[in-house]
Structure 1
Amino acid sequence: MEKRQPPLTESQYFILAALLYGPRHGYGIIKATEHATDGRLRLAVGTLYGALERMERSGLVVADHEEVVDGRPRRYYRLTQDGTGALEQEALRMQQAAALVTGRLRTLGTAQA
């Protein structure tokens, strides 16, 4: 039986999406999320690391590796197979929900014309 994840929050969705292209460190995730949403979603550092911690406990992401930059450790995170599945599941859920609404709006628009 398929393991069902609860719907992802918007922040979680875009954090996972930022990791689709490979491991990223926190600042890289913040910038990728901001870019993907045209600046609409700006993750605070606390929000990011709280979400990463919860998603790591849920098995959606794992710490991939660390490197030291300018004397400070930089941790990189990557998607797990479960994380990719949860992201895909959420994208399909949102797509179905949007199709339902847009279909009804089209029907209403035709009926009201």
Structure 2
Amino acid sequence: MARQQLQNLTEPMYYILLTLTSPNHGYAIMKKVAETTNDRVRVGAGTLYSLLSRFEKEGIVDCIGNEGKRKIYRITDKGMELLLGEHRRLISLVEDGNKVLKGDKNG
């Protein structure tokens, strides 16, 4: 999974990384994504753990310990760079859309 493959994150990827700006375990990540999006985005356990495994292999998140049987994950510097890049990309999309949809003649 090279950087080129992750240029555009899916919604679950984006929200998982956003949630991991504070260390969390899997169940808490699923709850936080649902809360943050008012249940618009729900991440199932299979998707979550598949993405966490993939992110961990690529150095995007780290497992930093255990809370009982639960693994605690956090975003790495590489993951934060990826998240911030995606955030900037999404802002650009919205700004471009606003120019067109709101009739900005300079857009």
TM-score by length of 2: 0.89
The aligned counterpart of 1:48 is: 48
**What amino acid is aligned across from residue 83 of structure 2 in structure 1?**
L
Moved over 2 A (4+): none
Take 1:9 and 1:51, find their aligned partners in 2: how far apart are those partners? 11
Matching of residues 68-107 of structure 1 within 5 Å:
68=68, 73-107=69-103
Give SS of 1:107's match.
coil
Structure 1 residue 59: Cα displacement: 1.2
Give SS of 2:102's match.
helix
The aligned counterpart of 1:64 is: 64
Structure 1 residue 67: Cα displacement: 2.5
Q: Could you give the per-residue CA deviations for residues 3-58 of structure 1, whole angstroms, max 9, x where no partner exists?
A: 764211110100010011x2100000000100110011111100000011111112
Take 1:23 and 1:106, find their aligned partners in 2: how far apart are those partners? 40
Take 1:30 and 1:16, find their aligned partners in 2: how far apart are those partners? 12
Q: Share of identical aligned residues, percent?
A: 34
Structure 1 residue 104: Cα displacement: 0.5
Q: Could you give the per-residue CA deviations for residues 50-106 of structure 1, whole angstroms, max 9, x where no partner exists?
A: 0111111121101010121xxxx1100001001111110000000001100111111
Name the count of aligned residue pairs. Answer: 102
Take 1:8 and 1:42, find their aligned partners in 2: how far apart are those partners? 15
Take 1:99 and 1:59, find their aligned partners in 2: how far apart are those partners? 31
Take 2:23 and 2:7, find their aligned partners in 1: how far apart are those partners? 24
Matching of residues 7-22 of structure 1 within 5 Å:
7-20=8-21, 22=22
